[in-house]
Structure 1
Amino acid sequence: MNGKALLSGIVLVGNVIGVAHAGQFDQAPKMTLVAGSSPGASSSGVRHGGEGAEKSSLTVTPDYIMGPEDVLEITVWKNADLSKQVQVRPDGRISLPLIGDVSAVGRTAAQLTEEISARLKSYMENPTVSILVREVNSYQIYVLGEVNAPGKYPLKSKTTLLQAITIAHGFTQVAARNKIVVFRFGKDGEGLNKIKASYDDIVLRDGSDQNIELKPGDQIVVPSETMVVLPSR
């Protein structure tokens, strides 16, 4: 093989590796969960896609907590007008005929099914509702601020705060690493809770409880030293 051909081969391999690395975090895992009692539901409460469905390393159970951008198929038995496919909005809610907005974030499919059924009882007798999670798009976290690779990353397994910082390629030189803040949706998707953490406390002191396990939708913010405001006198 001459030198020109060898160089072309090296460039081609490098490009393939680069594309594979760039796409590592591009797609969120997709699977389907079902809650309710509609005919055809599996006894385990979980439905998977067809033969060619993308496999995920995530272990999804009926305890799955729904989040923003998840796609839900809601079926009201023998009532096509009330059945629809919806995407959870950024505010954590979905909109349904008759009953309007319902909070979905922070709930399991079974919990959401129970509320929708209860609210539909004002309009019909003994409604039978089932919910299928068609797409899981909310198993993602956001690492923002003074990290070397800020962005949105999917959670493919249990991930701690320190692991998330590592995924984002660590702190920049001006990071206030002891002033980390994690913003997390509150109960039933209402509001945002603020969780503070110190890198030095976690690593050097007895602060391992600050190395929290992250949840879908968590926003990790690492401010710069110049953003840290001194308390007013």
Structure 2
Amino acid sequence: MQLSNPATTDKLPAFVFQRSSLGSRDVCQLVIRRLFRVTLGLLFSVVAISGAAQNPTDTLVANPLDSPTIERHLEREPQCGCRNVPGGYPCPSGCPKCMSGVDCADQCGAEARWKDMRPMDFGAYGPGGYAGPSRYAHLGVYRLRPGDQLQVFYLITRRQNQGEYRLAPGDQVLIESVADQDLQRGTLDRGLVIQPDGTITVRLLGQVHAAGMTVSQLREVLEEKYKKLYDEPSIDVTPVVVNKLAEDIRNAVGGASGLQQQALTVTVMPDGKIRLPGIGGICVQGFSLPELKKEINLRYQEIVIGLEAEPILTQQAPHFVYVLGNVASPSRIQLTTPTTVLSAIAQAGGNTPDGNMRQVVVLRRAEDWRLVSTMLDLQGAIYGKRPTPTDEIWLRDGDVVIVPARPIVRLDNWIEQVFTRGLYGVLPVSFDVN
């Protein structure tokens, strides 16, 4: 819009409206944004000043040791002495550098502040500090889950855990008689094979059940049956090949015969099961390795003697967390070590200036897959005001970390959508500014 009356324009002392390339949408957007930012900036400044006046000990100083409260605290504490931490770096020439720090354990569960600093030895391990101390185990007992990869080692032990050995299909025996040499079945090189149905075929008697019997029991059964044909049959039973099923299972894994361990690699399926030769599927989800070993061997003992299985975890299923929102590189992050929320955000490139670190959201799936969530305030941690933030929690597999936008950024986006692209996009108006 242009003022066409020269008399009117001459009365304007400083500003006149002329035709220019600056559109009304740009002018309004600039004016509105600056007004909102100045207003909110003043409000935030007033709140920050009043908060600092109420909590002077929580304000960030250039050097925490310069605080009068900390100086008085350090005067009461003994100075750092030369002491050797087990496995640490020795002190060959004097004491290590005395430093001060905050330990969350000093507050019995409460959050420690900078005013709680005390002398601490931060250089106990010297140049070997990059390796760190031998900390506690990440997890007390590891429980199997889908995606884990196992190797099950098989070994024929030749050990009988309970009672006499009982014949099984595939075993071979030698049957002899003093009364009639024609009753002999099998030789020491190749015995009479127990059939898959558990029977053997002998002269004059036909099929006789043998599986599940001990050698002495089979001898008594044959002796009793032959007494109907001979006065003194004098039957003798000699085992030639035993524990054949264990050999078959071991060979099915892929190994040759002999006292050598053979391994089968299996992966826990999405239904939580693995499949092993001879015993089929086993649900292993939630099992520890000792529990799984006991379960496998108990199942094998029901069908075979002298076979021992040893499961070993060779590869864990991958663990991931997801970081999105106002971070430099929203991404999926693989967990290879214990990881906190700030560690995950750092791996995602850190939060952007638009990120609201006072309201970081963590979404989590519980054991029964229900959704739980929490909101964390990590602003003081990244500004150095909170040395042991209670909101710095450990992440689990599958967690989603969201860094939302600051309120001023959301307001700016709202103005952009409603006014710049909405109202002025529909009703474009231009102003001439001189």
Q: TM-score under structure 2 normalisation? A: 0.29
Find the structure with the greater CA-based Rg. 2
Quick check: which one's strand share is greater?
Answer: 1
Quick check: which one's helix share is greater?
Answer: 2
